[in-house]
Chains A and B, each alone.
Chain A
Amino acid sequence: MAKLSCIYHDTAGASDAVDGRTRVYGLIFTGTHSSYTVAPPLITLRDGSASGDVLIQVNDNPNATDTTVYGSVNSLDFPGGGVLFPNGIHATLYTGCKGISIICSGGAAS
């Protein structure tokens, strides 16, 4: 069994979420928007910095032609070894994203 941590991140825009080598096993995230003006993606997770590779990209917003749906809490579970971020996680939360829980192991604190 793998001991995991939960890192909750709700800083709007782009910022570092987790320092150091990290494996991501799951995500829990929410999104809501009422103006139809925000296009996907909702969240991008890059390796280490703003210029790092995009390793995970998820969306919980409707696109411009779909009906807005509130009340959403979505999750993704990555089986096996998870998704490896060799240099940490740099997260970008776009307008409409209220927060993201990163289920992971590693990181500078471990």
Chain B
Amino acid sequence: MTLRQDVNSSYFEKITSGATDNFDDRSVVGRCHFRGIGIMPQWQGSTSSYSVYNGTIQIEDVNAAGDDGSGTVLFEMPVVAQNGYPVSSFFTFADDDGYILFEKGMFLTDTTTSGTAPLLNFAVILFYGT
């Protein structure tokens, strides 16, 4: 007999325009098994300027209070995007029946190493638990 477990999904969306990182305080609180992620880089600058920007998307274990991302970075993925050509990406561990364990919860953030911050327009995180 196969036991099935419901997969939860949390949707994180950029709230306002501009360079402010709007993903603060957007957390999944509680122990969970991270199973996959889908992301869309945000549109930066003018479409007449096809500059490339890059950085990483990170998911940190939340702190003891569960209200910020001062915990360890347990997942990090690279992103390269270009003005006018945002490309979504999705990755899942489902084929391996694998997971990354977040003991206290997941806190989504991004860093930009080239270009104007932030990188991310939206993300969907798939997980078990909480």
Contact (Cβ within 8 A) B82 A2: no
Contacts of B54 in A (CB 8 A): 30, 32, 98
| Residue B11 interfacial (CB < 8 Å) | no
A101 to B93, CA, bound (A): 13
Which residue on B lies nearest to A60, using beta carbons? Answer: B80
In the complex, which range does the number of interface residues on chain B fall in? 20 to 34
Report whether over half of chain B's contact residues are helix, strand or loop; otherwise say mixed: strand
Contact (Cβ within 8 A) B99 A3: yes
A72 to B51, CA, bound (A): 14
Report whether over half of chain A's contact residues are helix, strand or loop; otherwise say mixed: strand
Chain A residues packing against B (C-beta within 8 Å):
1-6, 8, 10, 25-26, 28-32, 34, 70-75, 77-80, 82, 98-101, 103, 105
Chain B residues packing against A (C-beta within 8 Å):
33, 39, 41, 50, 52, 54, 56, 73-82, 85-87, 89-93, 95-101
